[in-house]
Structure 1
Amino acid sequence: MTEIRVVEVPGARLHCEVRGFGPVLLLIPGGAADSASYDGIAPLLAADHTVVAYDPRGTSRSPAADPGSAASVTTLADDARRVLDAVGAGPATVFGSSAGAVTGLELVVRRPERVERLVAHEPPVTALLPDAAGHDGGRLADIQRREGTPAAMTRFLASTGMDGDAPPPPTDDPAALETLARFAANLPGFFAHTVVAVSRYQPDVEALRSLGPRIVMAAGRDSAGQVPRRATETLAGALGTALVEMPGDHRGFLGAPVAFAEALRPLLDGAP
């Protein structure tokens, strides 16, 4: 059973979904996605965790007071902390993917007492790459303004190397179609704001390194050569930690949710 909560944060109202019982696991979505991106793994992990997923501010069912405003990574991390506070939990385990993993990195640096363990799945911290200038999100924002969202998406997939990833299978399920429509509606804001903030984010490597095994860097085994994986490998190397390979690609939790949840569970419980 899923409990729906609304968490009030400065400038937004966050849609949250809570499942299960046990230690708290916070799932942070990435990109233009919302909490529904974790619908495949959340029920499985809820067998032994209180799983909390939410729509980040300005996406889907979490409207921002100023829809045209840009949310910084710092603001998004503070939102995640406020979600944890609303659940009333002590230190929680956090899983974030893509931009959600970037939010997780900032959360654990700013509020380490709130995070027992962070599993960061393919955070696209492209500012660490030697070719960082070529991945600045401002270029995509310009394309979106000049040529529209489809053109920006085409350039985004090609520039990250993800244009060869398998698209989601066709569906006539009403709930799935509603979810896809929400994701599509989030894309203009994703290109206008999210990719810019994430591409320019500089993780605090020294602070993250000081947290030792509390930080787990993970990437899809089918993501080799793609920009998010390259960035993740670079950060893992800077932290002196091994990269854990997960099933699938950048969106492995969508394509293979059962295998992904099985691989994720031991990481949540402290396995290296």
Structure 2
Amino acid sequence: MRQVRTSAGRPVPDVPSPVAGTFDDVVEVLTGRRTAVLTGAGVSTDSGIPDYRGPGSPPRNPMTFQDFVGDPAYRRHYWARNHVGWQHVGRKAPNAGHRALARLEARGVVTGIVTQNVDTLHEVAGSRRVIDLHGRYDQVLCLRCGTRYARSEVAERLEALNPGFAARVAPSDPEIAPDADAVIEQTEGFRVQDCWAPDPDGGPGPCGGMLKPDIVYFGETVPRPRVDAAYALVDASDALLVAGSSLAVQSGLRFVRHAVAGGLPVVVVNRGATRGDALATVTLHAGTSETLAGLDAVLPTPT
């Protein structure tokens, strides 16, 4: 057993060293507890969206914020791939894990979801309280004036600028990364759309600012209101369940640390080891779809 202290130095209840547990151990920890859920890319793999770090995942080099804003060639390359990829993500359907979480929330077992995914499949499945920590693939933001566009609006303009591009360069079922980036190589000559909202300085033309998918890139900071909302969700819960995340980046791991500092038990369900295992009450190396569906079948509504 270890004693954990809060940032203010106050001791909180002992938490056990990590236990490689069974499904029954997970049920024992979560029974009777209103549970906040943190999800990662592993929750969506059964919907056909690959993850970054799971077993068998190919090496990936995700776009960084610095590359996107600092290099027009990188920006063109990304928008070309995203122009193909976002449409394929939009065709994906929620899997059994997404649907189980929606039912668990409806029954009062799950208090809400903090997701590191940008695919919106939790909302499509019917979950009501979802914090999109890393943004959404279906929205676009102007970095100059702050205008927000539906991705479909931008797609229409990109198609007008690049007629027939997707049909020419992409296979019928391209490999898609978790951030809606299609794996295609031929992006030369792709034309990028700038912001067409009125100039925020009152000029005669459009804003002309740089458009960026409303996705938090590597090297970019998660907006503080989202972080605060996620902390509040954890604080209002009795346990934290991590599903399908390696917790390799601080944006997710901090909520595990926050839960432990508050004395909450933490359950981690993932197909491989995670950076949060040393903090977990129980870890279960298993798929999320079958585990979440199983929890939906046996967890009672907290009284």
Q: TM-score range by the shorter chain?
A: 0.3 to 0.5
Query: Which has the larger helix fraction?
Result: 1
TM-score (norm 2): 0.30
Rg: which structure is higher?
Answer: 2
TM-score (norm 1): 0.32
